Amino acid sequence: MSLLSTEEIVKNYDGVRALNRVSLHVPRGIIKGLIGPNGAGKTTLFHLISGVEKPTSGKISFKGKDITRMDPHQISLLGLGRTFQTLQIWGNMTVVENVMAGMHTRLKGGFLSCGLWFPWVKRTEKEALEEAKEILEFLGLLGRWKWPASQLSFGEQKILELGRALAMQPELILLDEPAAGLTLTEVGQLSERISQLRKQGITIFIVEHHMGMVMDMADEIAVLDNGELIAEGSPDVVRRDPRVIEAYLKGVRVDA
């Protein structure tokens, strides 16, 4: 059974059909890529899955539960993390606080117990700090844990956003163009870390324009064009699909 599946998803924006009957499946434990030209509806699909927007019709299920009409925070509580195409880092906090805020739902304490600093709050805060530092070490940001997040470079902020998603211990992470705007070395490091995450058993669903990265990493690729799913399968199959070449890879060397 697949971890995430969408059935006949339709999304209309004031008469514009952004997604037309998209049905796809993300099996557990793989890296799935989602590609397509600009305006194909990739980010819209991510917004629908994470609950930021609601589909016009269709059904989305995650871990066998229907999440179509759930609020974003309920969906994330089920174990679904995401990053954003437009960076949504919390620049008013330090780097480590960004990661610790990602753990919010796992930490104990309400408003009153936090304000009175009860012993268990103290304990969980301490543990959270340690854990956040481990995540930052994994991502190579430990040296800057006390920096204001707004002072990081663009590439580091993207990685921090991944760290924040990791902090909630998700089973599935949606990465929306994680490599956009990164330098080549940073892209290399990022794909290495994503592969490590898969080894830890986290399923990854990734939207990416960086073709080389997706083709190398992904186990399965889905291709969207004009809101329709035109191909789905292993990278080799997708690479040879005439419709994909027609729609997206026109004259582009796929192995680049």
What is the largest distance, in Å, between two alpha-carbon atoms of the chain?
A: 64
What is the size of the binding site for other proteins (CB under 8 A)? 47
Considering the complex, what minimum distance in angstroms separates the CB of residue 74 from other proteins?
A: 8
**What does the alpha-carbon distance between residue 161 and residue 88 come to, in Å, rounded to a whole number?**
8
Q: Which of residues 59-78 bind other proteins (CB under 8 A)?
A: 71-73, 76-77
Per the structure block, which two tokens stand in for 79? 């174990």
Is residue 155 at the binding interface for other proteins, with CB under 8 A as the rule? no
Q: Are 161 and 83 in contact (CB under 8 A)?
A: yes
Q: Please choose, out of 60-68, 160-168, 187-195, 235-243, the segment that lies near other proteins by the rule CB under 8 A.
A: 160-168
Considering the complex, what minimum distance in angstroms separates the CB of residue 111 from other proteins?
A: 5
Each residue 101-140 as x (binds other proteins by CB under 8 A) or -, in order, gives xxxxx-x-xxx--xxxx---x--xx--xx-----------
Is residue 94 at the binding interface for other proteins, with CB under 8 A as the rule? yes
134's CB contacts (< 8 A; 6+ apart) are: none
Is residue 222 at the binding interface for other proteins, with CB under 8 A as the rule? no
Question: Which amino acid is it at 42?
Answer: K
Q: What is the CA radius of gyration of the chain?
A: 19
Q: Are 209 and 180 in contact (CB under 8 A)?
A: yes
Considering the complex, what minimum distance in angstroms separates the CB of residue 24 from other proteins?
A: 20
Strand duo 31-35 + 203-207: pairing? parallel
With tokens 């080799």, the residue in question is 236
List residues near other proteins by CB under 8 A: 50-52, 71-73, 76-77, 81-82, 84, 88-94, 96-97, 100-105, 107, 109-111, 114-117, 121, 124-125, 128-129, 146-148, 151, 164-165, 167-168
